Chains A and B, each alone.
Chain A
Amino acid sequence: EAGVTQSPTHLIKTRGQQATLRCSPISGHTSVYWYQQALGLGLQFLLWYDEGEERNRGNFPPRFSGRQFPNYSSELNVNALELEDSALYLCASSLGGWVWEANNQPQHFGDGTRLSIL
């Protein structure tokens, strides 16, 4: 069974540009989560999508956005890139459904996209 896949592996952008990161969940998983791991800060929750809808977002500015497609894959878009956006962006998936189910399902992670802002 294929795990969570993310593309691209590495992405280099300059300040002010836009970045698009992609994620394909494990087959059968309907929930997709995005996390940022910046140097020295640990994993920080960004966004949660389930059944095509945004269910929750972390403490990040609106220029971080995303969407989930009918096949449950997801995109993370970061607009007006800043130097501090340089980080590893991790996608995870889980069985979804109602909030209380999602709270007790392990999330399975991809290997991430390394975004570097020059």
Chain B
Amino acid sequence: DQQVKQNSPSLSVQEGRISILNCDYTNSMFDYFLWYKKYPAEGPTFLISISSIKDKNEDGRFTVFLNKSAKHLSLHIVPSQPGDSAVYFCAASGGGGSQGNLIFGKGTKLSVKP
């Protein structure tokens, strides 16, 4: 049973436009959510996180939105750049039995075209 879902395996966006990556979760006990970016042959790189007590967190071009009632979060990248092309993973933690570990989605491959 997948507790964190990224339903779009891929997304293509024009340079300069907004990229919106989506993530849904099923476990209402999750209280901390993260986004990671992964290039081929490298480990995931931490991008941005949000605690369940907030509904928005910004860091430069990256903004994460959390909708707890819908159990949905999204990552907005504005403006998108070709260097943003990578696989993006959503992750969550805090549910019963998951202390200290992250539950990952399967990723969305973002392609930003010049």
The answer to whether A binds B is yes
Which residues does A use to contact B, with CB under 8 Å? 4, 31, 33, 35, 42-43, 45, 48, 50, 55-56, 58, 90, 92, 99, 102-104, 106-112
Q: Report Cα–Cα, A92/B98, bound state, in Å.
A: 16
The answer on a CB contact under 8 Å between A106 and B107 is no
The answer on a CB contact under 8 Å between B99 and A55 is yes
The answer on a CB contact under 8 Å between A43 and B89 is yes
Q: Count the A-B residue pairs with Cβ separation under 8 angstroms: how many? A: 64
Q: Report Cα–Cα, A71/B99, bound state, in Å.
A: 23
Q: Identify which of residues 19-39 in chain B touch chain A, using a CB-to-CB cut-off of 8 Å.
A: 31-32, 34, 36
The answer on a CB contact under 8 Å between A50 and B101 is no
Residues of A with C-beta under 8 A to B104: 42-43
User: Chain B, interface size: which category?
Assistant: 20 to 34
Of A42, A45, A104, A112, the residue contacting B51 (CB under 8 A) is A104
Known interface pairs A43-B89, A111-B41. Does A106 touch B100 (Cβ–Cβ under 8 Å)? no
Q: Which residue of chain A is the closest to B44 with respect to CB atoms?
A: A109
Known interface pairs A31-B100, A109-B44, A111-B41. Does A42 touch B93 (Cβ–Cβ under 8 Å)? no
Which residues does B use to contact A, with CB under 8 Å? 31-32, 34, 36, 41-46, 49, 51, 89, 93-94, 97-107
Known interface pairs A33-B100, A42-B107. Does A103 touch B45 (Cβ–Cβ under 8 Å)? no
Residues of A with C-beta under 8 A to B51: 104
The answer on a CB contact under 8 Å between A42 and B105 is yes
Top 8 nearest A-B pairs (CB, nearest first) are: A109-B43, A45-B101, A48-B100, A43-B104, A111-B43, A106-B46, A42-B106, A109-B44
User: How near does chain A come to B51, taking the closest CB pair, in angstroms?
Assistant: 6
The answer on a CB contact under 8 Å between B43 and A90 is yes
The answer on a CB contact under 8 Å between A103 and B32 is yes
Q: Report Cα–Cα, A8/B99, bound state, in Å.
A: 28
Q: Which residue of chain A is the closest to B94 with respect to CB atoms?
A: A103
Residues of B with C-beta under 8 A to A102: 99-100
The answer on a CB contact under 8 Å between A58 and B101 is yes
Residues of B with C-beta under 8 A to A92: 43
